[in-house]
Amino acid sequence: MLRHRFAELRGPDVPAKALDARALAALAANPGCRRRALLDGAGVDKAALANALGSPSAFGQSQFAFMRGNAFEARVKADGGAELLRLAHERLDPGAEPPTRAQVPDLSAAGPQGRVARTALALREATEASGTDGAGGWTLLDHPMLALEVAGSPAFLEPDAVVVHPDGSWTVVEIKSFPMLDGAADPAKVGAAARQAAVYVLALEEVAARLAREGVPPRVRHRVLLVCPKDFSNLPTASAVDVRRQRAVTARQLSRLTRVEEIADALPEGTCFSPELPVEELTAAVEAVPATYAPECLSACDLAFHCRARAREGGAVTALGRPVRAELGGLSSVEGVLAAARGEAGDPDDPAVAALRRAAALRAEALDTARARTLPAPSAGPEVALCH
């Protein structure tokens, strides 16, 4: 029933866009945005929607960067993932046996559900073959498929790789094409990779919980392996990244998301987000779903430019950023903020209103002082001139 409802929202013959870990990480960063929760949950292509609305997104990976990333990943995984496993052994598990007899199971299956089941079976077999004393071998799962329920809708996730250690523990591997210079990478890019890996860790924990109920208790490691090019070469190097904080934040934020069916049920009958619709009808459909815009959306959501324009037109203080919005309390519009600062509206006992009026008074005082300093001195009269 819900799948049929989502198909109606996307439009006739419009395929669903898969919800990946990057989108989930961005969604978790803004859990109050019902618009994104619904569009992502229904599989709506937000980039195509933004183009149809006349507010195309301005971010995304270039074709050159995409090809370079694929070439680097292929190099890392060459020869059965020998180099990748060597890095995992060196950075995460140096006390274990070297990965000389690694297994790379075939994970192919029909459809995402079939691949999820095949991945779970491969993880179970690898864990059962290992020993708690570390006597087992290494296993590399190349592009496994994991499932995670988000706001009542399943999301199918595909990490670059998952490594099963000789002791039966599991590690997420993220392969990125940005460089590590002298052993360190761009902190912003590492943070984004950590948030993405945290989503995979959550999905792996779901698999581990099911296996534990069946008597196979695996352990999901919270230190992931980030593999990048070394310096300015194409040689791979790696770093262990602790994602416990990102995992906790992502889990808490995803749990706060309103269930997608609740958002869909509140929409007017016949609402559709097909890019083929007229702009006026499509705009009305998008505006029927509440959004929570913040400047951070510009780097994470295809609809950010449309939402920013609407926020500015409506004078919403969210366009100024989350810290400003949090400081203003119940004042939600720029017009209301200015009126409170001028003393024309607002409760004087409200701390936000009192702070605004104090700031307005200080600004007026500063401007008066500046004007007094810049006014020309009065010209000398004839009496003064005669005295000289």
Domain co-membership, 203 together with 134:
yes
Domain co-membership, 186 together with 267:
no
Q: Is residue 328 part of a domain?
A: no
Alpha carbon distance 388, 320 (integer Å) = 59
Beta bridge partners of 175: 227
Q: Which of 253, 276, 300 is the last residue of a domain?
A: 253
Look at residues 147, 194, 149, 191 and name the one whose alpha carbon lies nearest to residue 173. Answer: 194
pLDDT per residue over 143-155, tens digit each?
999 999 887 777 8
Domain co-membership, 287 together with 350:
no
Domain co-membership, 52 together with 28:
yes
Q: Is residue 349 part of a domain?
A: yes
Alpha carbon distance 132, 127 (integer Å) = 10
* pLDDT number for residue 271: 92
The dihedral built from the CA positions of residue 245, 235, 175 and 162, taken in this order, carries a sign that is negative
Domain co-membership, 9 together with 151:
no
Alpha carbon distance 127, 107 (integer Å) = 16
- Residue by residue, what is the 3-state secondary structure of the chain? CHHHHHHHHHCCCCCCCCCCHHHHHHHHHCCCCHHHHHHHHCCCCHHHHHHHHCCCCCCCCCHHHHHHHHHHHHHHCHHHHHHHHHHHHHHHCCCCCCCCCCECCCCCCCHHHHHHHHHHHHHHHHHHHCCCCCCCCCEEEECCCEEEEECCEEEEECCCEEEECCCCEEEEEEECCCCEECCECCHHHHHHHHHHHHHHHHHHHHHHHHHHHCCCCCEECCEEEEEEEECCCCCEEEEEEECHHHHHHHHHHHHCCCCHHHHHHCCCCCCCCCCCCCHHHHHHHHHCCCCCCCHHHHHCCCCHHHHHHHHHHCCEHHHHCHHHHHHCCCCCEHHHHHHHHCCCCCCCCCHHHHHHHHHHHHHHHHHHHHHHHHCCCCCCCHHHHHHC
Domain co-membership, 270 together with 282:
yes
Q: Which domain holds residue 155?
A: 63-253
Domain co-membership, 219 together with 237:
yes
CB-count burial class (<10 Å; 0-12, 13-18, 19+) for 240: middle
Main-chain dihedrals φ then ψ at residue 239, nearest 5 degrees = -145, 145
* pLDDT number for residue 60: 59
Q: Is residue 219 part of a domain?
A: yes
Residue type, 63: Q
Alpha carbon distance 147, 104 (integer Å) = 21
Q: Which of 242, 274, 292 is the last residue of a domain?
A: 292
User: Which residue has 């600062």 as its token pair?
Assistant: 341
Q: Is residue 297 part of a domain?
A: no
Domain co-membership, 269 together with 355:
no
Q: Is residue 318 part of a domain?
A: no
* pLDDT number for residue 379: 55
Domain co-membership, 176 together with 43:
no
pLDDT per residue over 247-305, tens digit each?
998 998 888 777 888 888 899 988 999 999 999 999 999 999 999 888 888 888 899 99
* pLDDT number for residue 237: 96
Residue 275 Cα to chain centre, angstroms: 24
Q: Is residue 306 part of a domain?
A: no
Domain co-membership, 88 together with 204:
yes
* pLDDT number for residue 296: 84
Alpha carbon distance 268, 94 (integer Å) = 59
* pLDDT number for residue 329: 76
Alpha carbon distance 20, 267 (integer Å) = 25
* pLDDT number for residue 92: 96
Q: How many domains does the chain have?
A: 3
C-alpha Rg value of the chain to the nearest Å: 28
Q: Is residue 192 part of a domain?
A: yes
Q: Which two tokens stand for residue 158?
A: 């595909």
Low-confidence ranges of the chain (pLDDT < 50): 132-134, 381-388
Domain co-membership, 104 together with 136:
yes
Taking a C-beta distance cutoff of 8 angstroms, is the pair 130, 167 a contact? yes
Alpha carbon distance 239, 164 (integer Å) = 17
- CATH code, domain with 85: 3.90.320
Q: Is residue 387 part of a domain?
A: no
Domain co-membership, 208 together with 83:
yes
Q: Which of 292, 315, 344 is the last residue of a domain?
A: 292
